């Protein structure tokens, strides 16, 4: 399935018309129609895809992948639903200081795991 086909499928699942989705996403409905019908030689910009995903309340990584717009740094997330869910939620609620604090927490946890023996027992 290509990007346009999946977009149409998601739009219909949400019970939205072309005009409704286009209006909510801030794009022209004729442009959206061309996307869904594969009548443009390119896919929309990543920001437009994210906006469509947000309106449709779906994982933007799936749509970015179909549109071949997923940054290489995020390729590993494509198959990890928990990681995608985490980043989607974190992007909506985290402040700039939260990212540093979260990295510190992850590094702390990694260090503790390094001091454990197999089976979860702590080394002495």
pLDDT at 122: 57
Residue 44 has pLDDT above 90, yes or no: yes
| Sequence spans of domains, the chain | 3-77, 81-114
Average pLDDT over the chain reads 87
Q: Scan for tokens 């290509």, then name that residue.
A: 2
Helix (H/G/I), strand (E/B), else coil: 58 = coil
**Tokens standing for 47?**
């920001």
User: CATH: 3.20.20.70, 1.10.260.40, 3.40.30.10, 1.10.357.10. Which one for 3-77?
Assistant: 1.10.260.40
pLDDT at 86: 83
Torsion of CA 92, 93, 95, 99, to 10 degrees: -90
Count of beta carbons in the 10 Å neighbourhood of residue 83: 14
């Amino acid at each position: 399935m290509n990007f346009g086909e999946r977009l149409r499928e998601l739009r219909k699942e949400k019970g939205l018309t072309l005009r409704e989705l286009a209006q909510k996403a801030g794009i022209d409905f004729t442009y959206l129609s061309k996307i869904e019908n594969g009548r443009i030689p390119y896919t929309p910009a990543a920001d437009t895809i994210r906006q469509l995903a947000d309106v449709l309340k779906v994982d933007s990584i799936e749509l970015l992948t179909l549109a071949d717009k997923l940054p290489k740094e995020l390729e590993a997330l494509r198959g990890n639903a928990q990681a995608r869910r985490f980043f989607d939620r974190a992007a909506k609620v985290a402040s700039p200081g939260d990212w540093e604090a979260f990295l510190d927490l992850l590094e702390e946890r990694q260090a503790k795991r390094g001091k454990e023996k197999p089976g979860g027992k702590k080394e002495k």
